[in-house]
Amino acid sequence: MDMTNMNTVFVPTEATIVVANVLSSGAGFGVRLDDGANCYIPNKVGDAVKLTVGAEFTARLVPNRFPDKAERTPWLAVHLSAGAVVPAAPRPVQYTLPIDVPDEQQYAVPAVPKTADRVRALIQSGGVWTVGTAFAELFPGKTRGDGLTDYNTVAYTLRSMFADNQCAKFSMWRSADQSKPSREWYTCYPEKADVDEWEE
């Protein structure tokens, strides 16, 4: 293991995270809502707030000091508290326009839909989707490894839609002693869901 920077002191940064996974040890993983980056939550930190999947916390984060882990999980949570970070009010910006103002339409750039909006549109269009199949449909050619931020956004959006009663979810447990399901499918039209649409 490369011990470079192991003794470096980092100033924590605050961000709102959502818990994406809880391990049997009490540790877990979260996703930053501002940029989709992963963070590791040690069991001592997680035990203090009773981690549950989908819960949001204000996290004090430091960079992950382990080079072999930092690429996939760049942040380490050192403290969690209930609630989201309240962003500072934006400062007004003043612009001085030239006298000869060009036609706005001439230079207009079409808006690119955000990933969360694309996920909602996809699942509302019909069909039965897992996080993986929705990610593959929206980001063809990308793998989870090279599109981790987008993958996490797809997962969070689907779970949020279910939590807000905007879609239905089917879950499968392979055995009775599992703490979480092996597979989950999402659809906006459960009454029309066909087993043929489900991933094998």
Please say which residue of 62, 82, 102 terminates a domain: 82
Say if residue 178's pLDDT is above 60: yes
3-class secondary-structure state, position 121: helix
Same domain, yes or no: 73 and 118? no
101 domain residue, yes or no? no
| Inside any domain, residue 181 | yes
Question: In this predicted structure, what is the pLDDT of residue 135?
Answer: 93
Q: Mean pLDDT score of the chain, rounded to an integer?
A: 78
At which of 82, 104, 123 does a domain end?
Answer: 82
Q: How confident is the model at residue 37 (pLDDT cuts 50, 70, 90)?
A: confident
| Residue 57 forms part of a structural domain | yes
Q: Do the domain assignments include residue 146?
A: yes
Are residues 192 and 122 located together in one domain of the fold?
Answer: yes
**Same domain membership, residue 186 and residue 141:** yes
The better pLDDT of the pair 132, 145 is held by: 132
Question: For residue 91, is it within any domain?
Answer: no
In percent, how much of the chain has pLDDT > 90?
Answer: 14
pLDDT of 151 over the 60 cut: yes
**Total domains, the chain:** 2
Instruction: Supply the pTM of this predicted model.
Output: 0.47
**Per-residue pLDDT tens digits for 68-102:** 777 788 898 999 988 655 554 555 555 554 545 44
Domain that holds residue 193: 113-197
Final residue belonging to a domain, choices 36, 67, 82? 82
Q: What CATH number corresponds to the domain at position 17?
A: 2.40.50.140
Confidence of residue 12 (pLDDT cuts 50, 70, 90): confident
Q: Does 24 lie in the same domain as 76?
A: yes
On whether both 184 and 120 belong to a single domain, the answer is: yes
* Residue 64 sits in the same domain as residue 123: no
Residue 175 clears pLDDT 80, i.e. is over it: yes
Question: In terms of domains, do 76 and 138 share one?
Answer: no
At 102-132, the pLDDT tens digits run: 444 444 444 456 888 899 999 998 889 999 9
Phi, psi (5° rounding) for residue 19?
-75, 125
Buried b (16+ CB within 10 A) or exposed e, 89-111: eeeeeeeeeeeeeeeeeeeeeee
Tokens of 188: 């906006």
